[in-house]
Amino acid sequence: MTPEEIYAESFRIIEAEAGGHTFDATEWPVVRRMVHASGDLEILRSAAFTGGAAAAGVAAFRDGVAIVADVGMVAAGISKPHAAALSVAVRCFIDDPDVREQAAARGLTRSACAMAKAVAEVGDAVYVVGNAPTALLALCDAVREGVVRPRLVVAMPVGFVSVVESKERALSLSGTPVATVRGRKGGSAVAAAALNAMLRMATREPLP
């Protein structure tokens, strides 16, 4: 099979095995891409959207709103051609020297400090967390304090410590569109896949 045939067959299998679902026309391409990235149909049961999150992401990207990623792996997974076509900048502060210094001095995670710096420097943006729950918790605190109003939060950290709690806190944010995968699953590839689906829809590129 050619790469194109493999790609098309993958999505055909996902459609066939997914069967009926309750996702709307904008959410389903996002969920389908997350399933494709992870090979995990359980995402069909754990994916959740609040505040019209998928449509909010597409609208934000058509407005050229920047993306803030919690870690480099998430930033690296975002489609640069699609982001560039929409003049969407991709920012990540995890390796910033000031962040390293603050984290060491304050005894905090670099992810939390990087998120605080992003909120201060970028402001209202599309925020995507695919790795660190401490970054998501820091973002939630900033939203609750009225410091920032994200156009969208993609809340998909992965792991065992504070992961579930951070996602539920994000889902409880009033007036903030949130896309998440409930439970311990998530990760950089899944988070980037969700964003890439929205970027593709924003460019009006046909979806598989």
Rounded to a whole number, what is the largest CA-CA distance in the chain?
A: 54
Pick the catalytic residue: 32, 33, 36, 110? 36
- Please work out, in degrees rounded to the nearest 5, the angle formed at the alpha carbon of residue 105 by the alpha carbons of 103 and 110: 5
**Cβ neighbours of residue 13 under 8 Å, at least 6 residues apart?**
none
Query: For residue 35, with 0-12 CB atoms within 10 Å meaning exposed, 13-18 middle and 19 or more buried, which class applies?
Result: buried
Nearest-angstrom CA–CA distance, 10 and 70: 29
Nearest-angstrom CA–CA distance, 192 and 69: 9
Mark whether 21 is an active-site residue: no
The catalytic residue positions are: 36
